[in-house]
Every structure is written in structure tokens, then in C-alpha cells.
Chain A
């Protein structure tokens, strides 16, 4: 039933804007489309969903051709089984939560009681019981997005498109819905495409990242590829934060064999660690002072970014570190230089890594 997505999207929306993107997403994998506003990410979603026609190219899902303008093939949106989760939910305001979730099954001609039964299963899976008779206007943002996810999954799509699903939520709700999303994304058998601005979200979910700018893919690769070897300014900004996965216990985070001392004592288990490159200081000798974290490493690469210099360091932690150009000259930094790094515990961001396997709460 489930199969991968192969797409070449060529859409000319206007004289000045053209989307020209190739995507290949195997079943059970998540590809993130990352890019600034107006880059064409939403056009890509619309093309895959069939609401915007292709000018050229093709879309193939699980061996079935959905679009092939050269042959005049265009499967209409309602027959594609492409599920979309929208940033602003788009729940039908006149229908209850239950009827919203049952909308997909009902639309496929399943009888009302049977459709409601299937909707119930998803309502329970997404822990929405008790809300089934509410109208969308009575839901919080987080609840609404869970209903939207239930509604999309209940329609049994073969491809899942998530268009900035967490962008409209406040920070507290976002981490909770992110956890729900991670759990159900993991159980979805088909290919998944997530659109986002948020580096943390991208690095949590992505098997592959496609950076899209001006309608084209400017870089494609794993989270680490983009982070450590950004090819455009936008990708570099995405890579502006260091991301690592670790395990937290009593104010310590184990990243591989390395131990980081952090200010956060509450979180335990799998965590996502974020460190700003400018928060790390570079020394030639073991640093003194109040730093809780110091370690020695070797400079792998050096890149100039205007007045600043970005160092990429080797084991024990692959990190991007930024210093001023003057400091870099003063310290005589070059690839292969042996250096000491220092980092305050309070400069290390720690959040529960809900996407990690075995962490379903």
C-alpha cells in the first residue's frame, strides 16, 4: 500500500517566480523543506496536494502517477490520498471535533456510524476524548492542531504533508504538540514532508533536509551536512545553532562519551542540546575562571563570515564556534590548531527530545 514519493515540481506562478524542485522521499522517511518566506515551500505543498497544477515535471506516489502534464495526467486533489496538516488547522467551523475527524471517511462513502467509529479511534489515539462534541472555536491552539492531525490521518493518506504545523502555537504548547507529532509521524508508514522555519523542529524530524530558496533547492543533506557545511547564507543561519542529542541526568548531559554540565536539573532522559556558536570561548591554554565546561579539541576547518570567523571543531564534540576575526588572528588559528574551549552551564539549551525512540509519554 505505502510507497515512496518521486516528484519533479515545475510551477511558474508568475513572470518572476518559478518553482523548480526535485524531491525523492522513501516511505517511512521524513523530508524537511526549509527556507525563507516566499521561497516556494507552500507552492510545493499545493502542487503535491494537486491544488496548483504543474507546468512541467511529474509526481509519482507509490508507483502511481499523480501528475504528468506532458501526457495530460492530473489526478484531482480528492482522489490523491495526500493528507495535509495546515499551520492554521483549517478545521471546519460548523462541524464538531468528531465530525471533523470523520470527514475523510465520510467523504470516501463510508456510512455515518462506521465513519464515526473510525473517527473515534483517532480521537482516542490523539487523546482528544472529552472534546469530541466541541466546536473548533472552543479549542485551544494545541487541541486544534491535534484534531487537525487526527482528521488528516483518519483519511488514511498515502503521503503526509505538514505545512508549518507548529508555527501558530505558543512556545509551551509547541513542545507538547511536537511530541504528539513525533509519535504519530513515527507510526505513519508513507513518505512525509515537513515544512518549517524552525531549526529545532527541522533537526528533530528530518531524515533529510532540502533548503529551498527562490524556488530552487540550494542544499540537500542531513541535518549535520547543513549545519556543518552550509552552502548559503540562509543555511548558515540555520546552522547558527549547534544541535546535539544527548542523555540528561542530574544536571549532566552525556553526548556520546563527553559530559556537559548544564544549568537545567529538571529534565532527564533523551534531550536535544543547543549551543550558540558565540557562547563558546576559544583559548590556547586550559582556561581559568567560572566555566563549568572546558575541553581540548582540534580545529577542523575555518570559514570567514564577514567580521567573524567560524571554526568547526573535531572530537569530542563536532561544533561550530564563532570568534571575531581579530581574536582568530591573535590566537593564530588554522586548521589543525590545538585549542581549548570553554562554555558556561547557563549557555547550554536543554529540552526533552520527544522524537527520540523509546521516549513516548
Chain B
């Protein structure tokens, strides 16, 4: 690798450079490995198969739905955690962060006990509305949200805690009610963190595997998202697995890089 040294930029300490390169290699080499194994000529045919197109459609829809759901309930949750002092707040905060550490398979199992057909909420939910979450696309959305929303909640809560609340007081002194303050001052002020949280949330939902397969199963066209399709393909058809992986890498890279550049340093 060549390094461009701009004028005024400090010289890179040798040891630091070695370690940083090792760190980079850990991320770059697997991607390169993927590219080296890619069946470039057969790629269009592989990606055009029913299994893959179904998975792309399902992954796109469910990961976006999970992100939207996370926004709708996660931002209010972050607001409550940051602003309302209630008994058991640290317990709630810990529980919200749990999916970050918990093996997703355990999360999926826990979801089954809560929202499964004989689960705590699942049974009454089915009786009342006829909605069955496990083994449905809704189940995928719930599993994705469960695993991905903590990223949004934690990012937004941090931003709400560190923002200068006097802007909100200034808005109130100008006659703005709480809802107006939230809509016109609080949310715009934390927009960079909000966007970062949404991107992280979406990325995590897009790549979700363990909780989805445990809670929602692996039914092509209904619950088989891209990661699940890769898992299945690895057993039978390695080329398809590589092709799907490439698609995931490219989509994720595009979103992460473009949104980060777009929102970095704004406001």
C-alpha cells in the first residue's frame, strides 16, 4: 500500500502503521477472498434465479420495515430513557442493550416464548387478530427489529443526553409546545446521530441471521432472507452462495459509505 503524505500531516509511526495494516487486513482479506472466488461469468444467471430474487426482495422489504418500526418506537424509547427519570431505568436500559450481546439464536428462542403460537403474547394476539408471527414475513421483521433496534436506541439516547438542552428552553420561551420543540428543535439537532443510528440499525437488520432462522424459519419467498439463502446455498451450490454474498457486500458498502459521507460534519 502506498500512503499519500500531505503537507502538515504527521509522519506515521512505524509500529502504528504495522498494527493498523494488520487491523485493516482482517477486514479486507475476507472481502478479497470473496471476490477471488466469484464466478463472474455465471453471475447474472446465478443472481437471476428464483431463490436469489425472492431473497433480495424479502431482505430489502423486511430490513427497511424493521428500520421504520425501530424509528417509530425506538426514538420515543430513547427519549424516555434520556429524559424521564423513573424507577428501574437502568434495568430497562440494560434490557434494551441485551440483544447486542445475546447470541441471536437465544434472542430468536426468547421471541418464540413471547410471540410464538403458545407464547406469552402470541396466543392472545392470534385469538384477537388472527396474526401469527412465527414463520411469516412479519416474524422476520420482528426478529430483525429485536436485534437491530438497540443500535438506534443507544445512538439516539446518547445524542439526546449530550445535546444542549437550552435550545429546547429557548424554543419553549418562544411559545413552542413540547411536540413542536421535539419536531422542530430536538430531532433536527440530533439528525446526524439519528441518521447514523438508522444506518447501523438497517445494516444490522439486513445481515440478521440467527434470530430470524430461529423465530421465523427458513421458507423461501416468505422468511428466507439473503443471509439465510447464503446459508442454504453453502451446502448445495457454493457459487450461488458467493454470488449472494457479493451482492450483500456491495449493497452494505454502498449504504455505509455514501450515508456516512453525506451526514458527516453536517450541522
Decide yes or no whether B191 CB sits under 8 A from chain A: yes
Q: In the complex, which of the residues A50, A51, A93, A155 contacts B174, with contact meaning CB atoms closer than 8 Å?
A: A155
Contact B189 A81 (CB under 8 A): no
| A76 at the binding interface (Cβ < 8 Å) | yes
Complex Cα spacing A151 to B174, Å: 8
Interface readout for A79-112 with B: 1 if CB under 8 Å, 0 if not?
1111110100010111100000001101110000
Interface residues of B in 128-180 (CB under 8 A from A): 164, 166-167, 169-178, 180
Given contacts A51-B172, A155-B173, 13 further A-B contacts (CB under 8 A): A78-B174, A82-B173, A83-B173, A90-B167, A92-B185, A92-B188, A92-B189, A93-B189, A93-B267, A103-B174, A108-B175, A152-B173, A152-B174
Q: Is the CB of B188 within 8 A of A84?
A: no
Q: Which of A51, A103, A152 contacts B184 (CB 8 A)?
A: A103
Chain B residues within 8 Å of chain A by Cβ, number = 21
Interface size class of A (residues with CB under 8 A): 20 to 34
A171 CB to nearest B CB, Å: 26
Known contacts A93-B267, A107-B180: does B169 contact A49 (CB below 8 Å)? yes
Binding site for B on A (CB under 8 A): 49-51, 76-84, 86, 90, 92-95, 103-104, 106-108, 151-152, 155
Nearest CB on B from A185, distance (A):
18
In the complex, chain B residues whose CB is within 8 Å of the CB of A94: 188-189, 191, 267
> Can you give 7 contacting A-B residue pairs, CB < 8 Å?
A49-B173, A50-B172, A77-B172, A82-B173, A83-B174, A103-B171, A108-B175
Point out the residues of chain B lying under 8 angstroms from A108, CB to CB: 175
B191 CB contacts on chain A under 8 angstroms: 94
| Closest residue of A by beta carbon distance from B189 | A94
Contact B170 A81 (CB under 8 A): no
Residues of B within 8 A of A84 (CB): 170, 173
C-alpha spacing A65/B250, complex, angstroms? 63
Q: How far is it, in angstroms, between the C-alpha of A108 and the C-alpha of B171 when the chains are bound?
A: 11
Do residues B175 and A90 form an inter-chain contact, with CB atoms below 8 A? no
B177: chain A residues within 8 A (beta carbon): 78, 107
- Which of A78, A92, A95 sits near B175, CB closer than 8 Å? A78
**A104 contacts B175, CB within 8 Å?**
yes
Contact B189 A107 (CB under 8 A): no
Q: Tell me which residues across on chain A come within 8 A of B178, comparing CB atoms.
A: 78
Known contacts A92-B185, A94-B267, A103-B184; A86/B166 CB under 8 A: yes
- Bound-complex Cα distance A291 to B169 (A): 55
Q: Known: A86-B166, A103-B184, A107-B180. Is A92-B171 also a contact (CB below 8 A)?
A: yes
Query: Which A residues are in CB contact (< 8 Å) with B185?
Result: 92
* A81 cross-chain contacts in B, Cβ below 8 A: 175
Measured between C-beta atoms, what is the minimum distance from B64 to chain A in Å?
Answer: 25
